[in-house]
Amino acid sequence: MAKIVVLDGYAACPDDPEFACYRVLGEEIAVYARTAQQEAAERIGDAQAVLTNKVLITREVMERCPALRYVGVLATGYNVVDIAAAREHGITVTNVPAYSTQAVAQHVVALLLHELSRVASYDAQVKAGRWSACGDFCFFSDPMEEAAGKRFGIVGFGHIGQAVARAVTGLGMEAQVYTPHPPREAPEGVRFVPLGTLLETSDVISLHCPLTEQTRALIGADAIARMKPGMRVINTARGPLVDSRAMAEALRAGKVACYMADVLEKEPPQADDPLLNAPNTVITPHVAWAPKQTRERLVGIAMENLRAWMDGHPQNVVSA
């Protein structure tokens, strides 16, 4: 029987105070709602398996927990684990791929339509009495725009990037994609372009690439300078893909018309995050992945990963 520790169970199961979602295996399991980084090694202790979302499993943690043989990441991205150290210590690392594809694509479209259709603003004005007071059957205040005919740039073409492409082409937008390794044939309605072309010709850019040293601050001052005036940028991938200060300056200057993000450089954000006080932003608190059905899928696949490892046939391994 394996001893299992869940370090940060709350994010996936906020509506399950007993964390029954993690106890389906019937093993010896300790579930913590949250774990500070300095508590990680002590809480793992002599456990053979650990599940983590955002708590880092570093080389130091592995060295302090010699019984550890399995790390299950409760997410698709696995940059929270030192993969090289895991290999050296004989630790299997798994992730949960593609569980949130439709949820994140839905959130991207929600952010886009929030900006173009001004639904929230009009709702607030109607309830404040402005429509009642105007005297006409319709009331105009905020300018609205059609999505159709705009060029939508997608950086990264994994599961989510592909789902977003399908969604925006369904709105009549032209999807153009930058990816380092494009497939030989583009899906209908999609064309692959160099990053420079995407930056210079898109009306909207949406980020769907992993965070690496090469992509950190991908959208910085130089990239923004190449964009068309009045650009809109959507980031539901990772906060550090965007240089926050450069983006805030571009918003104040009007070079970028709107920055829509579900992620920030530091989460939760600090009070001095430059994007919190920048104009023309729409920021949601890292919830694109989090509809109830999506979280249930995440936990279900994570449990299947753990069970498969215990049975000697690990799946979704990222440390091979």
Tokens of 18: 């007993």
Cis amide bond preceding 14, omega within 30: no
Phi, psi of 255 (to 5 degrees): -65, -40
Whether 238 sits among the annotated catalytic residues: the reply is yes
C-beta separation of 32 from 6 below 8 A: yes
In angstroms, rounded to a whole number, what is the distance separating the alpha carbons of residues 261 and 160? 15
Instruction: Residue 175: name the closest of 194, 188, 160, 159 by CA.
Output: 188
177 in Cβ contact with 168 (< 8 Å): no
Give me the catalytic one of 28, 42, 200, 267: 267
Rounded to 10°, the helix 119-127/101-117 angle is: 60
Pick the catalytic residue from 107, 208, 232, 238: 238
Sheet holding 49-52, edge to edge: 28-31, 3-6, 49-52, 70-73, 92-94
- Out of 286, 296, 297, 307, which one is annotated catalytic? 286
Asked if 159 and 179 touch (Cβ cutoff 8 Å), the reply is: no
Residues 95, 239, 85: CA angle, nearest 5 degrees:
40
For residues 280 and 261, the answer to whether their CB atoms sit within 8 Å is no
Sorted by sequence, the CB contacts under 8 Å of residue 311 that are 6+ apart come out as: none
Residue 286 among the catalytic residues: yes
User: Does 107 participate in catalysis according to the annotation?
Assistant: no
Active-site residues: which are they?
238, 267, 286
